[in-house]
Amino acid sequence: MMLVQEQKSDRVSFRWLAKLLVAIWDRRNPWRRRWRKVLFRIEATGRLANFHCGNGVRLDVPVRIGGGSGTLGIGNDVWLGWNAAPMLGKGTILLQPRSSKSVITIGAGTIMSNNVSMVAMGKISIGKHCLVGDLTQIFDCDFHELAPSNRCAGVGPIEPVSIGDNVWIGSHVLILRGVTIGNNSVIGAGSIVTRSIPQNSLAVGVPAKVVRML
């Protein structure tokens, strides 16, 4: 009986200690967010031709430019990274307007999960109040020519990507050049979007196709 009581006492003590450590860790999070934001602003301001970051932008994971030199605009109350979501490594997000003429814009109130990559040679735009799942990738070019003789000679065709307002993009989605996704649409997890999707629709699959209207 005494042994059982001692074991219960040990569990209570350990639970109390664990809760204390978690509380201390949670108190660090706001400072970690501020520090990430400072580092992000330094890199973006130092590398990019034009950079705007709105009020209330929150960074739960590191965000990097990755050598981009173009224009990046982030609206108010955008959330980059999500602590509770699946995360590879530190969950780093890549927002890279690669050339001096490249543009990436993210509308106000958009929430982006971890390990998202957006690389523009032309323009990628995301509307307001969108949800972007973890490990989503968005590209506006192929980065190589198709012909074997000059495959490494250029970036191939460049076509803008436009995502409307209130769009939900599931996890592990790949969106390729020339795609427009209309307002309020949903892209199912694991889809590869090669053609434009109309507004108010649900699209899934490889390649993504509209399965019903919303």
Q: Which of 52, 129, 144, 172 is labelled catalytic? A: 144
**pLDDT above 80: residue 189:** yes
pLDDT (tens digit per residue) in 51-65: 999 999 999 999 999
* Whether the Cβ atoms of residue 179 and residue 193 lie closer than 8 Å to each other: yes
Q: pLDDT at residue 14 above 70?
A: no
Which top CATH class is 2-213? mainly beta
- pLDDT band (50, 70, 90) for residue 151: confident
What is the model's pLDDT at position 32? 77
Q: What rounded mean pLDDT belongs to the chain?
A: 90
- 144 counts as catalytic: yes
Instruction: Give the model's pLDDT for residue 27.
Output: 58
Dist CA 48 CA 74 (whole Å): 13
State how beta strands 123-126 and 103-106 pair.
Answer: parallel
pLDDT band per the 50, 70, 90 thresholds, residue 214 = very high
Residue 104 has pLDDT above 80, yes or no: yes
What's the DSSP call for residue 142?
A: -
Q: Where are the domains of the chain?
A: 2-213
Dist CA 82 CA 172 (whole Å): 15
> Residue 121 contacts by C-beta under 8 Å, 6 or more apart in sequence?
98, 99, 102, 140, 141, 143, 155, 158
Listed range (26-30, 63-67, 164-168, 171-175) with the worst mean pLDDT: 26-30
Q: Are 70 and 48 in contact (CB under 8 A)?
A: yes
